[in-house]
Structure 1
Amino acid sequence: MRAVGLIVEYNPFHNGHLYHLLESVKLTEAEAVVAVMSGNFLQRGEPAMWDKWTRTRMALHGGCDLVIELPVAYATHAAEWFAYGAVSLLEATGVVDAFCFGTESGELAPLLHAAEIAADEPPRFQTLLRSRLDTGTSYPVAYSGALQAYLAEQGYADAASFSFDTPNHTLGLHYLIALKRIKGAMKPYTIAREKAQYHQESITDGSIASATAIRKLLLDSESLEAASPFVPVSTYWNIQSSASGGVAPVSWERYMPALMHKLVTSDAASLASYRDVSEGLEHRMLNALPELGEASFAELLSLLKTKRYTRTRLQRALLSILLGHAKADFTPDKLGSGVEYIRVLGFTEKGRTLLKRMRETSSLPILLSAARPPEPCRYLNLDVRASNAYMLGTGGSELSASLFRDYREKPVMI
């Protein structure tokens, strides 16, 4: 059974995701779809609007056959390690023949050329990168500029003029770098995004909008029906069900009391020990606290944001503080050692067949429950703690029923 892998967040699963899934199946001639999906916190340093089990149901109803979890250690990291964790997991299953990702251009060749160079990060490239970072340029823009300059020096004309700093090109490049570094056997494919670009807040089509636009629509609108034209019926059912229970949609604002507690009880040295808090950001955070009016997350971001400190970087740093993610636990050596297990969040009947094969082909232990973890299990412990923190903001009536849900929840079966 030929399987294609997708790297997703599905926050929520919408019509654009459905298009990508169907086109991926067609392009790769796959018979099954394996999705590696972020858990309760996402790559841009945000809580997911819906918990990972709700989003797993969206994925399975939308056409995925097997959903596995990208641990929070990778899911909330910048592109390099987000991609490394996701690609490593798909490769580790032993059943995924190809993986397909969306890009702004739909062009694979320039990304492949760039990945060949960037995977080893030669000294000249590192020099070009450092020189751009020293000017205060954000990391994604500095990385793209350094890569373009280096490729031009090396005579790669097609890749040198390519825009690597757009969101999907950045992720796509790092997917290919990760594949090269792990010496993976999966074949990469890409599909051009249609009608709505990543993070596009405006809606310009009657049926396809970005996840960013849909989330904004749900937060701004008094009616869930506003999102219904842009999502499959099954997704809309899940959105309605979560809203009726008062559990979702979840946003950063629900976590402000817990975050503020951490901020006001920490000194600069303590804040600087957290992942993504560097270059004096700890002092900027402490200096911003007396300026807060309503103590909203939006206001805090506004006070902290600069050219160097982008919104995404700030959100990741604040999330690290909220979750207690210390720098010492996320060194390149530790992240580079890879994930120790494959956590299954859900499957269909076809996915069950894949799971049987995976028991023979997987290079990692397969977990259907967090109750019996393998050793070592440092990433699983982080996931359980992150899920507990997430549940504090879901608004459920009984907190005790939500805490340590990872230990009780069985995979979603469709």
Structure 2
Amino acid sequence: MIKEKKSYAVGIIAEYNPFHNGHAYHIKKARELTNAEYVVVVMSGDFVQRGSPAIYDKYTRTAMALSCGADLVLELPSIFATSSAEDFASCAVALLNGLGAVDSICFGSECGDMEKLSSIASILAKEPPVYSEELRRQLKKGATFPEARNTALITSGAVSNEDAKVLASPNNILGIEYLKAICRQHAFLTPVTIARNGSGYHDHQLTPDRFCSATGLRKALKESGNSSSENPEVFQYVPDAVKSKIMESRPLFYDDFSLLLNTTLIRLSMEGIPFQIFADVSEELAARIIKQLPDYHSFEEKINQLKTRQYTYTRISRALLHILTGTTNQLTADGRQAGYAPYARILGFRKDSASLMGEIKKRGSIPLIAKTAGAKTSLTGAASSMLRHDFYSSHIYQTVYQAKYDIKIKNEFTQSVVIL
């Protein structure tokens, strides 16, 4: 349904890992459904929410988005870009709301039913006592959090068995988290959802569907060595403007960070720094990591050896990444206390969107950062620490990239924002 009143700017939260036809469709439909003049994207940087390196660096992915309809791309602060779905969503919503000029948000979902998503989000945001008590009881019994949450929702009578199935799909879950964050933050963002078409979020195989999953694309690119001549089928799933970017770019994967991860684990252990100070690392998981230390394992081997029914692949992946990038519990807690998004860092913009940035500077409640020079000193407290962590995380990514390909690239202090 198209809004009668013209929207100034619609926000999209994304990873574009990598950018494909489904993402281009999302941008186009978001603009149409909200009748927005501008599309603002909040995008993960060089590491993404599942705890892995992005297949292409953030500036390459920014250029992909701008060439396919986005007007402005901002970086989601790294400590929350690689955090839980709740923190990821809370930070992204806070950032969009803090801009002042964005009045709607558009996200994809498997069910495409805003009423159903909003109903579940409202319950989870308010956490009624009967739900909270049952959730705690299920967690004590050893259920995983998703299992405990679903049982608590059904047992408390908050939702039906059928509606609870909505929480079995990844985009539905993220959508609900966006709606929760909007509710809790009293954000001035009107939510709109688009039903996901084509392959599922986790589908590993490319299918004849016009819209494939980013997971399937990453797998195909890894198997082909990123060579279009060896795997030309990849290019039927990406916009023409993205094809050249993929051909020009070189990917990174989990195991490219294996040596650095093993070295970091050994160094921290030798220095007596407990692993449980890092986000997502419990004492039990820390003990399991220590037990593995004498043997070298690749990044993915470590994840598979550490994962259990309680500790999922993604949870372990995020935990190891947090150790690698120095994402501590204290840094994360300070970021939450600072409102999740105390600044907005520009990764790129279209030249014809200059008036949009003028509106953000005029109406926004958080600083808009376009240049890294002096940015660390212009921010204070948690905001300064978060920005330094953004730089540090990207420098790790850039270091591994240069070592793998023996190519000198620009760093966070010499790289300019992308302008198209």
TM over 0.5: yes
For residues 328 and 144 of structure 1, the distance between their equivalents in structure 2, rounded to whole angstroms, comes to 30
Q: Is contact 2:34–2:104 with CA below 8 Å preserved after alignment?
A: yes
Q: Deviations over 1:62-88 (max 9, x none)?
A: 110010110001101101110011011
Deviation at 1:160, TM superposition (A): 4.6
Q: Deviations over 1:28-64 (max 9, x none)?
A: 1122211000111100101101111100000000110
**Aligned residue among 221, 224, 227 for 1:218:** 221
Matched AA of 1:270? P
Q: 1:333 to 1:18 in 2, by over 3 A?
A: closer
Deviation at 1:139, TM superposition (A): 2.3
Q: Is contact 2:258–2:298 with CA below 8 Å preserved after alignment?
A: yes
Which TM-score applies when normalising by structure 1?
A: 0.91
Counterpart mapping for 1:4-403 below 5 A: 4-150=10-156, 152=157, 154=158, 156-157=159-160, 160-222=163-225, 223-224=227-228, 225-242=232-249, 248-267=250-269, 270-290=274-294, 295-331=297-333, 334-335=336-337, 337-373=339-375, 374-376=378-380, 377-395=384-402, 401-402=409-410
With 58-67 and 259-268 compared, the bigger mean Cα shift is at 259-268
Q: Is contact 2:198–2:210 with CA below 8 Å preserved after alignment?
A: no
Q: Any unmatched runs of 5+ in structure 1?
A: 243-247
Q: 1:63 to 1:129 in 2, by over 3 A?
A: same
Which TM-score applies when normalising by structure 2?
A: 0.90
Q: Is contact 1:110–1:158 with CA below 8 Å preserved after alignment?
A: no
Q: Deviations over 1:239-271 (max 9, x none)?
A: 1111xxxxx210111111110012223448611
Deviation at 1:182, TM superposition (A): 1.2
With 120-129 and 70-79 compared, the bigger mean Cα shift is at 120-129
Matched AA of 1:137? A
Q: 1:309 to 1:64 in 2, by over 3 A?
A: same
Q: Is contact 1:136–1:307 with CA below 8 Å preserved after alignment?
A: no
For residues 201 and 144 of structure 1, the distance between their equivalents in structure 2, rounded to whole angstroms, comes to 26
For residues 168 and 152 of structure 2, the distance between their equivalents in structure 1, rounded to whole angstroms, comes to 11
For residues 334 and 5 of structure 1, the distance between their equivalents in structure 2, rounded to whole angstroms, comes to 21
The number of residue pairs the alignment matches comes to 402
With 129-138 and 48-57 compared, the bigger mean Cα shift is at 129-138
Q: Deviations over 1:136-182 (max 9, x none)?
A: 333233333323433x2x4x559854421321111111101110111
Q: 1:278 to 1:310 in 2, by over 3 A?
A: same
For residues 131 and 99 of structure 2, the distance between their equivalents in structure 1, rounded to whole angstroms, comes to 33
Matched AA of 2:129? P
Q: Deviations over 1:93-114 (max 9, x none)?
A: 1111211101111011122112
Same amino acid, percent of matched pairs: 37
Q: Secondary structure at the match of 1:407?
A: coil
Q: Secondary structure at the match of 2:274?
A: helix
For residues 34 and 292 of structure 2, the distance between their equivalents in structure 1, rounded to whole angstroms, comes to 50
Q: 1:172 to 1:279 in 2, by over 3 A?
A: farther
Q: CA RMSD in A?
A: 2.1
With 130-139 and 271-280 compared, the bigger mean Cα shift is at 130-139
